[in-house]
Structure 1
Amino acid sequence: MDAPLLIEEAGEGVLLLTLNRPAQRNAIDLDLCDALLAALARFRDEDRWRAAILTGQPPAFCAGMDLKAFSAPDAPRHRVTELIHSLPSLGKPIIAAVNGAAYTGGLELALACDFILAGEGARFADTHAKIGALSGSGMGSRLPHAVGLRFAKQMMLACQPIDAATALRVGLVNEVLPADRLLPRAIELATAIAGHDRELVRLARDVLDRGSAATLGEAIAIEREALAKRKAEGAMRWEAGIPPKASC
């Protein structure tokens, strides 16, 4: 039998979700997108789950959207956008455990989690500009909230990856750990969260999110308007069937 695209493992109140397309660096195609949406819905609705961890099967966390799978002009790319934007609204904390490359949509996926832990070999990049695309999934709004406006501009405009140590320095990640300590530490933190009063955790998380995101909704709206204008002016290069350049 084929291996599942998404591995779900249960702990004490904790759900571990592992993207499992390692040959494609865990890039998100429609099947993986649907599997992750379904798993997150169960996480949201089932009382036994108090916290979740999202990671990727080595060697990567997530390379972003699978451009081959979504190359057709009418491909449902909005499904990936819906997936990424759904994470903050689930009402329960999700920790991103980034064990390798988190590029473009993969970085957006990590940014949509409550916080990020990184392995020492993790790398982060936004390559939208390099492939002739514009983000519609939060890069232009969540990234500057995480690292500040100037460093977000550097990442989005230069498309050069940063290592885990730099990500820690600029505030993108909370901790950097040896590879063999990444998941144990994520499980330790998720288990600690799961052991607290669930309603208090929900309220505290909501207060933090609402307070820090006072202008985030406006920023996301601006980003979506820019994306709509870009599409109205003509398809992005990879949507039009022009192969993207090599990854950064």
Structure 2
Amino acid sequence: MRSLKILLLSSAFNGLTQRAWLDLRQAGHEPSVVVFTDEATVCRQIEDSGADLVICPFLKDRVPQQLWSNPLRPVVIIHPGIVGDRGASALDWAITLQARRWGVTALQAVEEMDAGPIWSTCEFDMPADVRKSELYNGPVSDAALVCIRDVVEKFAQGFVPVPLDYIQPSVIGRLQPNMTQADRTFSWFDCASFIKRSIDAADGQPGVLASLQGGQYYLYDAHLDSRQGTPGDILAVQDDAVLVAAGDCSLWIGSLKRKAQPGEGTFKLPARRVLAESLVGVPVLDSSIARQTFNAQAYQPIRYRESGQVGELTFEFYNGAMSTEQCRRLVAALRWAKAQDTQVLLIKGGRGSFSNGVHLNVIQAAKEPGLEAWANIQAIDDVCQELLTATQLVVSGLTGSAGAGGVMLALAADIVLAREGVVLNPHYKTMGLYGSEYWTYSLPRAVGSEIAHKLTEECLPISAIQAEQYGMVQGIGPRCPDAFGLWLSQQAEGALTDDKYRAARTRKATLDIQEIERCREHELAQMQLDMVHNRQQFAEKCRNFVFKRKTCQSPRRLMAPWALMHETVLLQSRVLNL
């Protein structure tokens, strides 16, 4: 197949768009990204680009008529629903109605939303007890890539998409209205599993609006618990979460967003922080791994178990963000785990992102954001230090994607193993930061100084395959989370003897403690300038990220040379015509 000029039109360069961009490049194509800013700009960029095909992996905006009406350059929407499903709340309804089968459909943009002819579809069995972000970043993302590959192949062959026909018995999807808060509402007297499903279906955005402690909040990150009490009462606090009684048992609620007043902006924060003033007298449970028996079904953001000579430490922080307090808890857990009689320490993420570094929302909410950022970066550095200095052979398991300090945290281990399909963003500059987490030691150690400079300066995502080629990752395991967990345990058990990890064992034996400390001192000196003194506009970039403010233009680093060339020629012609 010839190389195609493919434009990815997206509302943001999110995880799925990154996977699509990487996958198309791996297949030999030349994808370029256009972030939807305003209709006029987007139309000009696409019409002038000379693109062969436009694919929309994540588009919340309506495709302008000027674009979809061009018969020579199709605009294909990747819709997270089965054939016939239409509407912006596809996954919300699928989780709420407990669909047994779901899928992704690639359809051509037309005037009526999601009603265009079908290019491709891919179905899957719906996982049980799944939250929306987990569904989207897992089975939906996987199915979307299947559809995108199929669309590209069919386009090259001159395929004509098939009109949507509701008369066909195989078309079981239907137009669904946008889900409202009225559709999501619950009573604390309802059973906890129903409440959890409501919260899961609204995970990420918009959350479920409910009354709690006399206030109105959007709820996120729910976990079932067997304890009972008066429905609506807060029974306990643990780490960042509060335990709320429901009709039959109870739920841990990890994150809240206060309902905003007109003209006010609010954002998600740890529930304990949001409700701090009303939690006086509420029992605080001990969450230390030394006193908690491992239970994968319970609310345990940090949990530990042993198997033979392997100690396995799992940490699962909502959205992969690690606040100062969370980092300190993880440091305490690591110190305890390192003191155990084991030879291998396996650290791994949970069901979401592995880690995305410091907690920007908590930083933004602080009275002095710069000082909170400064405390946060030192706390996450302490996590990395514990990994670098462990006497055990440390294995990190990238169960999900990682960004910035989260990538470097993984690299602080001796062996890095990744789940197939994860995406890494090993850079800091787009947030106005020099970077820390010992990256000036760990990244060059893994990939060499030249590649380290390239990765941190280009600010582009890389796939697990690329990371393995660079030397950042020593092995890639199955895409299925359960299969990956089993594979990861097997790799950890063999890490001390397997020949393929011999280089990692040798490298550990030559660890340079003095050089590690020099790197930390240098990085923190730079980060103090960025976080406390705002050298590179970190404060503004953090604020824009937290309040989800749209970008004003597509980043040039995401534009392919052919798209940049067209833009340059057009700019020159406009200048000449002035």
Cα 1:142–1:193 shift into 2, 3 Å: closer
2:306 equivalent in structure 1: 10
Counterpart Cα distance in 2 of 1:43 and 1:101: 24
Q: Encode CA deviations 1:192-226: one digit per residue, 9 max, x unaligned.
A: 3579xxxxxxx96752324xx78555444443343
Find out whether 1:183 has 2:485 as its counterpart: yes
Quick check: 158-167 or 234-243, which moved more? 234-243
Find out whether 1:53 has 2:326 as its counterpart: no
Quick one: higher RCO (CA 8 Å, sep 6+), 1 or 2? 1
Counterpart Cα distance in 2 of 1:96 and 1:120: 14
Paired amino acid for 2:467: A
1:29 corresponds to which of 299, 308, 323: 323
Paired amino acid for 2:418: A
More helix, by proportion: 1
> Following superposition of structure 1 onto structure 2, how do residues 157-172 of structure 1 map, counting pairs within 5 Å?
157-172=457-472
Find out whether 1:138 has 2:438 as its counterpart: yes
Secondary structure in 1 aligned to 2:457?
Answer: helix
Counterpart Cα distance in 1 of 2:428 and 2:418: 22
Counterpart Cα distance in 1 of 2:449 and 2:496: 33
Q: Encode CA deviations 1:76-98: one digit per residue, 9 max, x unaligned.
A: 21111211222111211221111
How much does 1:236 deviate? 5.4
Larger Cα Rg: Structure 1 or Structure 2?
A: 2
How much does 1:134 deviate? 1.7
Paired amino acid for 1:11: S
Q: Encode CA deviations 1:91-114: one digit per residue, 9 max, x unaligned.
A: 112211112211111101101111
Counterpart Cα distance in 1 of 2:532 and 2:398: 35
Counterpart Cα distance in 2 of 1:230 and 1:30: 18
Find out whether 1:39 has 2:336 as its counterpart: no
Counterpart Cα distance in 2 of 1:14 and 1:5: 20
Paired amino acid for 1:117: L
TM-score normalised to the size of structure 1? 0.81
The aligned length equals 237
Find out whether 1:79 has 2:368 as its counterpart: no
Counterpart Cα distance in 1 of 2:531 and 2:361: 19
Cα 1:67–1:230 shift into 2, 3 Å: closer
TM-score normalised to the size of structure 2? 0.37
1:68 corresponds to which of 361, 366, 369: 361
2:524 equivalent in structure 1: 224
Paired residues of 1:50 and 1:193 also in contact (CA < 8 A): no
Cα 1:239–1:82 shift into 2, 3 Å: farther
2:543 equivalent in structure 1: 242
Structure 2: give runs of 5+ residues left out of the alignment: 1-224, 226-251, 253-298, 498-504, 552-557, 559-578
Alignment root-mean-square deviation, CA = 3.0
Paired residues of 1:129 and 1:156 also in contact (CA < 8 A): yes
2:80 equivalent in structure 1: none
